[in-house]
């Protein structure tokens, strides 16, 4: 009784698996956009035999449906008499699928040519394409399709007549598959979807077995590599190997699964039902392996940077890791969409056409992406640096693709878009090599020159006696007479581990300065004003008269000279006398 229940449960599960395998292509076909009818339709083959892929898909779909009459139309039997062609084609269609079930195989549908010209780079004639292989007692025979003229001037791809004519002989020389030899008759006779329940069960067992073998192989290789690298470096074992051991085992398992189901003789129809599932599983496994490999390599690089104290490049590694993951997942998504039947090339072309509109609508996103690249390449700050930008001061905690996160002094997180962050003036306090010591001492005006000289000498000696203060350009100078004080400048650079250490050194020096000022006998000045009170003393009269006389004497002499000059100018000039003319009279 339990055996009967188990049998019915297995049958139900296999029926569900069959339904999933049948519904996936149907759902894919519904998701694909329907082609718009043209005004003048070109001649189309209703069986889809115009491409090698269409011929193989049509033949397998006819076998799955149990329609031998339709499957026979994909075979080229034109060499036989016309009246025998229909019968021979049906027989060859049955024999071909039986031969493929034993040890034969058809290539992955997605690798077959979807164009009317076929695969032009396979080294065969232009009218021939290899779509599979037939195996009979270690005799490998290629399964070919050939392009031949058909009805309505169409060029149809059919299973090549030479290969089809050899099918009876190959079937006689081939042996029953390993799976059929070990399965009981009950599991071979009961069928779900034209496939026996034993073969459905073999698919499930083969999947578990292949996955287990893949993981064992992966763990074994990982152990061997770690054993060979022991004592040299812990990075590979802790990084890359630990990251990829499981996904690598899954990839090996998927590859082994394909080999196992072919060699044990699982029916071709059963293999075809789940072919798309296996292909998608392999793509997902490869994507998983790629992502984990990126994680492992990034951890190795970060470990090396931490050992060499090159922490400034950690942000570069993180950004490169995220971009690499995005590329791997994008490639996997495109491959899966193509497997499901979507026209990826058309979609990519549409993305290219809409790229301008997308760029216009995502200007800020692109700006932030470019800003993140600028921040990572230019490296004004790194993760862990204390910096100031704008009115914000804090420690950089993360530099992402879109934004940078800073922990402020109030212990809050400020998120700044990288586009704006890259254009700001950033002051990085973590990268200064020395701390500036600068102060101005304001001394009282009662301080004597001797006391000032004493202060200059003692303060200069204090700078020299402090080992953390660099000799150049440390200085102590009397710099000016202020409005209320005598100003002494102290300037220098202090070598400290961090800002807290600098504050400790500065504190000790300021206390020492106070002691020196007290020792000098003077004191610090405060902003103040001094008022002087006194009696009013009028000017002396005698002094005023003397000053007035001194002022009047040069003024009087100057005035007389001026009047004389004016009189000389105003007196009219006397005209000069003309000499008398003398004439001499002649004597007559």
Alpha-carbon gap, residue 24 to 109, rounded angstroms: 15
- The fold adopted by the segment(s) 435-520 is Alpha-Beta Plaits (3.30.70)
Residue 185's CB is within 10 A of a number of other CB atoms, namely: 8
- Across 285-289, average pLDDT: 88
If residue 280 lies in a helix (H) or strand (E), which one and from where to where?
A: helix 275-308
- Across 111-125, average pLDDT: 85
Each residue of 336-375: pLDDT tens digit? 887 776 766 666 665 555 555 555 556 666 677 677 777 7
- The C-alpha angle with vertex 529 and arms to 526 and 530, in degrees rounded to 5, equals 115
DSSP, collapsed to helix, strand or coil, labels residue 146 as strand
pLDDT of 577 above 50: no
Please tell me the predicted confidence (pLDDT) of residue 24: 41
Domain limits of the chain?
Answer: 49-175, 197-353, 363-431, 435-520
**DSSP for 498-513?**
SHHHHHHHHHHHHHHH
Instruction: Provide the b/e sequence for 260-270 (b: ≥16 CB within 10 Å).
Output: bbbebbbbbbb
Nearest to 252 by CA among 293, 205, 285: 285
Please tell me the predicted confidence (pLDDT) of residue 330: 84
In Å, how far from its chain's centre is CA 141?
48
pLDDT of 588 above 50: no
Which one-letter DSSP state was computed for residue 137?
T
Among 150-154, 287-291, 562-566, top mean pLDDT goes to 287-291
Nearest to 17 by CA among 274, 276, 199: 274
Can you read off the two tokens belonging to residue 152?
């309505």
Distances (CA, A) of 573 to 299, 563, 569, 577: 118, 18, 10, 13
Please tell me the predicted confidence (pLDDT) of residue 559: 56
Higher pLDDT among residues 510 and 330, named by residue = 510
Which stretches of 182-311 are assigned E, i.e. beta strand? 191-192, 195-196
CB 429 within 8 A of CB 498: no
CB 388 within 8 A of CB 429: yes
Name the band, by pLDDT with cuts 50, 70 and 90, for residue 406.
very high
* pTM, entire model: 0.49
Name the band, by pLDDT with cuts 50, 70 and 90, for residue 585.
very low
**78, burial (CB in 10 Å: exposed 0-12, middle 13-18, buried 19+):** exposed
- The fold adopted by the segment(s) 363-431 is SH3 type barrels. (2.30.30)
- The C-alpha angle with vertex 191 and arms to 185 and 197, in degrees rounded to 5, equals 65
Please tell me the predicted confidence (pLDDT) of residue 442: 93
Can you read off the two tokens belonging to residue 355?
């790229």
pLDDT of 493 above 90: yes
pLDDT of 489 above 80: yes
- Across 524-548, average pLDDT: 75
Please tell me the predicted confidence (pLDDT) of residue 490: 94
Alpha-carbon gap, residue 277 to 281, rounded angstroms: 6
pLDDT of 194 above 80: no
Can you read off the two tokens belonging to residue 54?
């269409």
Alpha-carbon gap, residue 344 to 299, rounded angstroms: 34
Nearest to 108 by CA among 126, 136, 132: 132
| Biggest distance spanned by C-alpha atoms of the chain | 204
Name the band, by pLDDT with cuts 50, 70 and 90, for residue 551.
confident
Say what percent of the chain tops pLDDT 70: 76
- Across 86-107, average pLDDT: 85
CB 440 within 8 A of CB 488: yes
Alpha-carbon gap, residue 139 to 472, rounded angstroms: 89
pLDDT of 573 above 50: no
- Across 507-523, average pLDDT: 93
Name the band, by pLDDT with cuts 50, 70 and 90, for residue 216.
very high
Higher pLDDT among residues 555 and 198, named by residue = 198
428 - beta bridge partners? 387
Q: What are phi and psi of 399, to 5 degrees?
A: -120, 105
**How would you write 480-500 as a 3-class SS string?**
EECCCCEEEEEEEEECCCCHH
Q: Tokens 């800073």: give the residue.
A: 406
DSSP, collapsed to helix, strand or coil, labels residue 279 as helix
Please tell me the predicted confidence (pLDDT) of residue 8: 42
Distances (CA, A) of 352 to 345, 348, 358, 491: 10, 6, 10, 62
pLDDT of 296 above 50: yes
**3-state percent breakdown (helix, strand, coil) of the chain, nearest 5:** 60, 15, 30
Higher pLDDT among residues 196 and 73, named by residue = 73
417 - beta bridge partners? 403
Name the band, by pLDDT with cuts 50, 70 and 90, for residue 453.
very high
CB 137 within 8 A of CB 174: yes
Nearest to 155 by CA among 180, 127, 134: 127
Please tell me the predicted confidence (pLDDT) of residue 418: 84
Q: Tokens 């290219």: give the residue.
A: 352
**24, burial (CB in 10 Å: exposed 0-12, middle 13-18, buried 19+):** middle
Provide the CB-side half-sphere exposure for 243 (13 A, CA).
Answer: 18
Nearest to 123 by CA among 142, 149, 140, 99: 142
Full strand arrangement of the beta sheet holding 386-389 = 413-417, 403-408, 392-399, 386-389, 426-428
Nearest to 490 by CA among 531, 438, 550, 540: 438
- Residue 567, sorted as left (phi over 0), alpha (psi -120 to 50) or beta, turns out to be alpha
Can you read off the two tokens belonging to residue 375?
């921040």
Say what percent of the chain tops pLDDT 90: 16
Nearest to 143 by CA among 161, 151, 131, 135: 131
Mean pLDDT of the chain: 77
What are the start-end ranges of the H helices in 232-274? Answer: 235-236, 242-263, 268-273
Among 52-61, 98-107, 169-178, top mean pLDDT goes to 52-61
Residues in Cβ contact with 252 at an 8 Å cutoff, skipping those fewer than 6 apart: 213, 214, 215, 217, 218
Least confident of 103-107, 116-120, 394-398: 103-107
Q: Tokens 């578990």: give the residue.
A: 208
Distances (CA, A) of 537 to 41, 71, 530, 547, 549: 126, 138, 21, 18, 22
Please tell me the predicted confidence (pLDDT) of residue 30: 42
Can you read off the two tokens belonging to residue 77?
């039997």
Residue 377's CB is within 10 A of a number of other CB atoms, namely: 9
């Amino acid at each position: 009784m339990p055996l009967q229940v188990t049998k019915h449960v297995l049958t139900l599960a296999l029926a569900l698996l069959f339904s999933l395998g049948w519904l996936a292509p149907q759902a894919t076909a519904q998701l694909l956009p329907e082609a718009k009818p043209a005004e003048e339709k070109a001649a189309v083959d209703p069986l889809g035999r115009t491409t090698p892929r269409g011929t193989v898909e049509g033949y397998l779909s006819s076998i799955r449906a149990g329609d031998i009459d339709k499957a026979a139309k994909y075979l080229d039997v034109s060499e036989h008499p016309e009246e025998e062609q229909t019968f021979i084609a049906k027989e060859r269609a049955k024999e071909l699928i039986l031969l493929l079930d034993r040890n034969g195989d058809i290539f992955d549908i997605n690798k077959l040519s979807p164009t009317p010209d076929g695969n032009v780079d396979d080294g065969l004639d232009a009218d021939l394409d290899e779509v599979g292989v037939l195996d009979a007692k270690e005799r490998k025979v290629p399964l070919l399709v050939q392009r031949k003229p058909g009805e309505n001037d169409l060029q149809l791809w059919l299973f090549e007549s030479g290969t089809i004519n050899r099918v009876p002989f190959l079937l006689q020389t081939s042996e029953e598959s390993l799976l059929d030899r070990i399965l009981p008759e009950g599991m071979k006779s009961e069928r779900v979807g034209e496939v026996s329940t034993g073969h459905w069960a073999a698919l499930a067992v083969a999947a578990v077995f292949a996955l287990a073998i893949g993981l064992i192989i992966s763990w074994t290789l990982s152990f061997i590599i770690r054993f060979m690298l022991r004592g040299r470096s812990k990075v590979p074992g802790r990084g890359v190997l630990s990251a990829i051991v499981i996904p690598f085992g899954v990839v090996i398992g998927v590859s082994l699964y394909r080999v196992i189901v072919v060699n044990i003789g699982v029916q071709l129809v059963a293999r075809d039902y789940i072919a798309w599932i296996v292909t998608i599983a392999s793509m997902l496994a490869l994507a998983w392996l790629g992502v984990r490999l990126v994680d492992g390599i990034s951890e190795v690089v970060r470990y090396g940077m931490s050992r060499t104290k090159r922490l400034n490049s950690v942000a570069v590694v993180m950004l490169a890791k995220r971009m690499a993951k995005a590329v791997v997942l994008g490639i996997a998504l495109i491959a899966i969409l193509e497997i499901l039947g979507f026209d990826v090339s058309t979609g990519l072309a549409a993305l290219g056409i809409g790229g301008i509109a997308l760029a216009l609508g995502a200007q800020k996103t692109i700006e932030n992406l470019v800003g993140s690249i600028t921040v990572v390449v230019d490296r004004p700050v790194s993760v862990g640096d204390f910096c100031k930008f704008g009115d914000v001061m804090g420690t950089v905690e993360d530099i992402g693709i879109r934004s940078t996160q800073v922990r402020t002094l109030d212990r809050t997180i400020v998120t700044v878009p990288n586009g704006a962050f890259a254009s700001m003036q950033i002051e990085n306090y973590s990268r200064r090599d020395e701390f500036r010591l600068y102060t101005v001492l304001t001394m009282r005006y009662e301080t004597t020159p001797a006391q000032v000289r004493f202060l200059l000498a003692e303060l200069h000696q204090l700078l020299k006696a402090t080992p953390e203060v660099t000799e150049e350009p440390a200085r102590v100078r009397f710099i000016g007479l202020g409005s209320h004080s005598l100003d002494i400048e102290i300037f220098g650079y202090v070598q400290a581990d961090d800002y807290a250490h600098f504050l400790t050194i500065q504190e000790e020096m300021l206390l020492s300065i106070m002691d020196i000022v007290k020792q000098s006998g003077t004191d610090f000045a405060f902003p103040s004003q001094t008022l002087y009170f006194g009696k009013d003393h009028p000017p002396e009269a005698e002094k005023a008269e003397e000053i007035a006389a001194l002022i009047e004497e040069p003024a009087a002499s100057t005035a007389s000279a001026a009047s004389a000059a004016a009189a000389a100018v105003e007196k009219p000039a006397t005209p000069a006398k003309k000499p008398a003319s003398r004439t001499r009279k002649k004597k007559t």
